[in-house]
Amino acid sequence: MKKNILLLYSISLTLTFITFNSCNTTEPTDELKPGRRDYTWTVDTLFLPFNSFTDITGTSPTDLWVCSPGDADKIFYHYNGNNWSTDNNFRVFSPFSISSLNSFNIWSGGSDGRIWHYKNGNWSENYKYSLNTTNDITFQTILTLSSNNLLVAGKYYIDADYWGIILSYDGNTWKKLNISKIRTGFAYIKHSNNNKIYFLGLTTEQTTESRYQFYEYDGSSLKEIYSGSQSNNAENGRLLQLGSKTYFIIGYDFYNYNGQTFIKIGRLSDDQMFLNAGIGRNEQDVFLGMRDGIAHYNGENTIYLYQTTGNVFVRKGILFEKEVFFLGRDTNGNNLIFHGKLNK
């Protein structure tokens, strides 16, 4: 089902669960203009009660992929610019992350240490990582830089405790990075224009506060550069990709990191509905994930582009030069894909 929706700052709709990705974006410059807000939106609805989409990737607005760890015969969906479709093939795989290099080279990471690859029009298992002590390994995030440079990360469990894990791929072989034993689960990877890789780690405790960490990887070593609280009413943190540069959301603000200190760029929102998630083209064109919709920061102020009446959670999407897509889910088991196009 698809319906056109004119640009509104308050729209009654219910959705859940989004995060953010980027593609074909614009570099921040010293002569930026506030990002435009005149988008026209359409919504595609897929009724999948046991199949919540967890990630989205693509090379163009007519070549998108989403994944889900839900129904085994509906874990990958493709969008061709008109329709979403799946091949209904049963697969022993529960994907959580997906990343595309081009239209015929897509990678996905998921549970049981499995990594899948789309090549020559077909999905197949490329690699399964295992440890002698456990097979309880989940790859939550994957980053495709080139055909011979991939990273996948997540966590593994041993004796009811968990530790961070990162694998790299050189075009032929997957290899576990030799990092310190870190009690965290890597949730996001971003590549910045300073040739550094940044990771977000999450540490969840049952009886004490949860925390998040920012890590920087220079190709040989991984170091923690920041840590903060992830508990209720705390600052929270996320990686923020603006064009080819990685920024850092801490609380309601976002920061640049110069290798030594964090420099505040601006305040994204004062609204408690802000979920510390976003993506953008540059420092004055940032889309924000909200509990009740999608907001936009233009360097001067923040307003809703799409607002719902229900309690929703917007965290993932993908951005192109003139179009944006966001994943959502309502309480009736509908996966919703929101598609915004800039007006001419």
Strand segments (E) across 30-119:
39-47, 55-60, 63-67, 76-79, 84-85, 95-102, 105-110, 114-119
Dihedral over Cα of 237, 238, 243, 244: its sign: positive
Using the 8-state DSSP alphabet, how is residue 177 labeled? -
For residue 147, what pLDDT is reported? 92
Residue 34 has pLDDT above 90, yes or no: yes
**Cβ proximity of 168 and 177 under 8 Å:** yes
CATH number among 2.130.10.10, 1.10.274.10, 3.40.50.300, 3.40.50.1970, domain 2-342: 2.130.10.10
| Residue 240: CB atoms within 10 Å | 26
Nearest CA to 49 out of 343, 337, 330, 307 is that of 330
pLDDT digits (tens, 9 = 90+) for 39-87: 998 889 899 888 999 999 999 999 999 999 988 999 999 999 999 999 9
| Residue 295: CB atoms within 10 Å | 24
- pLDDT level of residue 5 (50, 70, 90 thresholds): very low
Q: List Cβ neighbours of 41 (8 Å cut-off, separation of 6 or more).
A: 4, 5, 6, 7, 306, 338, 339, 340, 341
What predicted TM-score, i.e. pTM, was given to this entire model? Answer: 0.89
Residue 95 has pLDDT above 80, yes or no: yes
pLDDT digits (tens, 9 = 90+) for 294-341: 999 999 999 999 988 877 778 899 999 999 999 888 878 888 888 999
pLDDT digits (tens, 9 = 90+) for 190-239: 999 999 999 999 998 766 668 999 999 999 999 999 999 877 656 789 99
Nearest CA to 309 out of 288, 291, 327, 295 is that of 291
- Domain ranges in the chain are 2-342
- Tokens 């290798």 locate to 259
